[in-house]
Amino acid sequence: MRLHGEVSFDEDEEEVVMVPAAALSSPLNGGAVPVTKFVVGYALTKKKVKSFLQPKLLLLARKKGISLVAIDDTRPLAEQGPFDIILHKITSKEWQQVLEDYHEEHPEVTVLDPPNAINHLNNRQSMLAEVSDLNLSSFYGEVCTPRQLVIMRDPSSIPTAVAMAGLTLPLVAKPLVVDGTSKSHELSLAYDEASLSMLDPPLVLQEFVNHGGILFKVYIIGETIQVVRRFSLPDVNTFDLLNNVGVYRFPRVSCAAASADHADLDPHISELPPRPLLEKLGKELRGRLGLRLFNIDMIRELGTKDRYYIIDINYFPGFGKMPGYEHIFTDFLLNLAQSKYKKCLSGG
Is position 124 annotated in a ligand binding site?
A: yes
Is position 49 annotated in a ligand binding site?
A: no
Is position 261 annotated in a ligand binding site?
A: no
Is position 174 annotated in a ligand binding site?
A: yes
Is position 122 annotated in a ligand binding site?
A: no
Is position 207 annotated in a ligand binding site?
A: yes
Is position 209 annotated in a ligand binding site?
A: yes
Is position 319 annotated in a ligand binding site?
A: no
Is position 119 annotated in a ligand binding site?
A: no
Is position 84 annotated in a ligand binding site?
A: no
Is position 283 annotated in a ligand binding site?
A: no
Is position 139 annotated in a ligand binding site?
A: no
Is position 196 annotated in a ligand binding site?
A: no
Is position 318 annotated in a ligand binding site?
A: yes
Is position 314 annotated in a ligand binding site?
A: yes
Is position 215 annotated in a ligand binding site?
A: yes
Is position 211 annotated in a ligand binding site?
A: yes
Cβ distance 236 to 210 under 8 Å? yes
Q: Which residues are annotated as part of the binding site for ATP?
A: 124, 174, 206-217, 232
Q: Which residues are annotated as part of the binding site for Mg(2+)?
A: 297, 312, 314
Q: Which residues are annotated as part of the binding site for 1D-myo-inositol 1,3,4-trisphosphate?
A: 48, 89, 185, 217, 314, 318
Q: Which residues are annotated as part of the binding site?
A: 48, 89, 124, 174, 185, 206-217, 232, 297, 312, 314, 318
